[in-house]
Amino acid sequence: MAVPAVNITIEQGADFASSFTITNSDGSVFNLLNNIATAKLKKYPESTTSYSFSTSITVSTGQITLTMTDEVTSTIPSGRYYYDILLTNNVTGLKTRVIEGMALVTASIS
C-alpha cells in the first residue's frame, strides 16, 4: 500500500480534529481490526521534540481521527512540521504507516 501524503493545518491555541478514511489500493476499506494508531508531529523527522495527537479508530468505516486540544496546540511554535499516522497490529505486531504529510501550524492572534 502506497502511503498517501495529506497536508493539514493546525491553528495554534485552538482545538484540532481531522479524520482520515484508510483504504486498500482497490478502494475497499482497510481492515483496522486489532490495530492501534499513533500519530506525532515533528519540526523535522530527526527532531527529539514531538507533539502527540490523540487517536481513535472506527473499524466499520476504516476511519482514523486525530485530535489535539487547544492546550497542546498553544504550545506548538508556528511553522511547518511533518506528521504521520502509524498503525500497530496487536496480534501480529506488524507496523504500517498509513498517512504522512506536512502540517502548517498557524500563529494565534487572540
Task: Determine if the pTM surpasses 0.75.
Answer: yes
pLDDT in tens, 79-103: 999 999 999 999 999 999 999 999 9
Structural domain that includes position 64: 8-106
pLDDT in tens, 52-67: 999 999 999 999 999 9
Mind listing the pLDDT tens digit for each residue in 9-28? 999 999 999 999 999 889 89
In a domain, 37, yes or no: yes
pLDDT at 110: 77
Does a structural domain hold residue 3?
no
Q: What letter would DSSP give residue 90? A: T
In a domain, 96, yes or no: yes
Name which of 34, 73, 40 is nearest 54 in CA terms.
40
Counted domains in the chain: 1
Q: Where are the beta strands (DSSP E) in 23-94?
A: 35-42, 51-52, 54-58, 63-68, 79-89
Distance CA 102, CA 17 (A): 15
CATH of the domain at 40: 2.60.40.10
In angstroms, the CA 63 to CA 69 distance is 20
Q: What pLDDT, on a 0 to 100 scale, did the predictor assign at position 70? A: 97
The rounded distance, in Å, linking the Cα atoms of 55 and 65 is: 6
40 belongs to a structural domain: yes
